[in-house]
Amino acid sequence: MRFPTSFIAAAGLLASVFAAPIAEVDYDGCDSEIPSSSAAAVISSPIATTSSVAISVTNSIPTSTRIMVASSAAATVQIPSSISSSTTPSKTAAAAIAASTGSSNSTGGLQWLGMNESGAEFGNTNIPGTLGTDYTWPLAASIDTLMGKGMNIFRIPILMERLAQGTMTAALDTRYLGDLSTLVTHITTAGAHAVIDAQNFGRYGGSVFTSTADFQTFWTNVATEFKSNDNVIFDCNNEFHDEPSNQLVADLNQACIDGVRAAGATTQYIFVEGTSYTGAWTWTTSGNSEVMGNLTDPSNKIVYEMHQYLDSDGSGTSDVCVSSTIGAERVAEATKWLKANGKMGIIGEFAGGTNTVCESAVTGLLDALVEASDVWMGAMWWGGGPWWGNYIFSMEPEAGTGYVAYIDTLAKYA
C-alpha cells in the first residue's frame, strides 16, 4: 500500500514500504524513515518479550524522522528486547499456542487468515541501516496475540538490499538473515505459515531490475536457508509496477519459482505477484491475465497473490470506502479468472477504515472469498508491526486503530 505525500509528512513516515498505484509517490523517490539515533538509540530483535521505551517527540527532531503522531509531548513505542536464550520461546510453548488456537488450520472457511507484519522493510534509504533506528522486527508477543485470535499466516516484508547487500547475488547478510530466521522459526513452530516477502516493487537499489538470472540466484540463496521448513512461503516480489513489459514481470516470477526449486525447497508454496501493484480489481485489465497464467512449477504450488483496497483509487491511502459492497465487487473478475484458469489465489493485502461503510465492505470482501474458497486460499490484513503508531489500518495489539475496530470481525473468518 502507498501513502500520499500529505499523509506521510503528517505521520513522519516517508514510506515506500506501502504499496498501491498513487502516481505522486513512487518507490524510486520515497523512503520509510524511522527515527534517527537522536530520537532513540534502541536495538530491536524479532523474538523477545515486549519492552517500552518512551521517545520524546519534540521540535528538535525533524518531522521526517518522527515515528508517531502524538498530541502529547511524548509517545511510547513498543520495542522488543534483545535476543537471548531466556526470551526466545521454546518449542513446547509454541506448540501450546498452536494447540490452543488451531493456528495451523483456519476454521472460518478459508485456509489462511492473517497479517502483514512490517518493520524490517522500513528505512529503505539507509542500507544496510541500523536496527532499532532505521528498521525493526515485528514483536513475537503481538504475533502470539494474533495467533490467539485464530490467525495462521504472517507476511514478513523484507528488503532485498538488506539481505543481499551490494548486489542481489551476494551472500546473505548474517545478522539480517539471523533475525529473519528467528522470527520465521517462532511463527512456524507455532504451526502458522511465515511468508518471506521481498518488499521491493520490482526495484533493487532504487532501479528496476531486469536480470532473471540474478533474481533466480537471490531466491536460490534465500530458499536454501529455509528449504527444510514446510511452513515457509516464498513471496517473489511485492507489487511490480511500471515495468519495461508485462512479460518481464512473468519472467521474473518464473525465475523466482525456478530459483526456489533449484535450492531443493520443493514442498513450500510460492506466491507470485503481477504488475500494476498486483491489484485484484485490475487483474484482467492490466495485462496480468495475459501473461501470468503461463507460469509453471514442478511442485504445482503456485499461489497468485493479489492486493485489494477499498478506497476510490484502490490505493489504501484513505479510510473512506467507495461503498458497502465494493469489497466483493473488486474481487469478482479476479475470481472468474482463477476459476477459468484452474489457479489458486490469496489476497495478500487488504484493509478498510473504521466506519460502518468500510466494515460492511470488508465483510463483503471476506464473504466473497469464502464463497469462492475453491480458488481463494485466504487473506492478510495490512498491517501489523510495532512502529505504526496511530496509522489508520494498524492491527498492532492491543491499541492499533485497525485492531480495535476489526479484530473481532477478522476472528470470525480465522
pLDDT digits (tens, 9 = 90+) for 124-165: 999 999 999 999 999 999 999 999 999 999 999 999 999 999
User: pLDDT of 1-23, one tens digit each?
Assistant: 654 433 333 333 433 333 333 32
Stated pTM of the model: 0.81
Per-residue pLDDT, 104: 52
Q: Judge whether 117 counts as a catalytic residue.
A: no
pLDDT for residue 30: 37
224-237 exposure pattern, b = at least 16 Cβ within 10 A, e = fewer:
bbbbebebbbbbbb
* Whole-number Å distance between alpha carbons of 202 and 214: 13
Mean pLDDT score, 318-342? 98
How big is the chain by its Cα radius of gyration, in Å?
Answer: 19
In this prediction, residue 108 carries a pLDDT of: 76
User: What is the tens place of the pLDDT at every residue in 219-278?
Assistant: 999 999 999 999 999 999 999 999 999 999 999 999 999 999 999 999 999 999 999 999
Question: Please, what's the largest Cα pairwise distance for the chain?
Answer: 58
Q: Give start and end residues of each alpha helix (H) in 71-173.
A: 91-101, 140-148, 160-163
**Sign of the CA dihedral with 247 first, then 168, 67, and 401 last:** positive
Distance CA 151, CA 144 (A): 9
- DSSP-assigned letter for residue 154: E
Share of the chain above pLDDT 70, in %: 74
Distance separating alpha carbons of residues 248 and 236, to the nearest angstrom: 13
- Residue-wise pLDDT for 16-74, tens only, equals 333 333 323 334 333 333 333 333 333 344 444 343 333 322 232 222 222 332 222 23
Average pLDDT over residues 67-95: 36
State the average pLDDT for the chain.
82
CA distances to 5, 8, 269 from 67, in Å? 15, 10, 34
Lowest mean pLDDT among 74-78, 112-116, 333-337: 74-78
> CA of 221: how far to CAs of 128, 271, 274, in Å?
18, 17, 23
Out of 117, 225, 239, 243, pick the active-site residue: 239
For residues 142 and 136, what is the distance between their CA atoms, to the nearest angstrom?
Answer: 14
Q: Which is catalytic among the residues 117, 225, 305, 349?
A: 349
Distance CA 313, CA 378 (A): 23
Distance in angstroms (rounded) separating the CA atoms of residues 41 and 77: 12
- Average pLDDT on 349-375 reads 98
Q: Let me know if 396 is a catalytic residue.
A: no
| Average pLDDT, integer, range 276-298 | 97
Q: Where are the beta strands (DSSP E) in 11-152?
A: 50-56, 74-80, 112-117
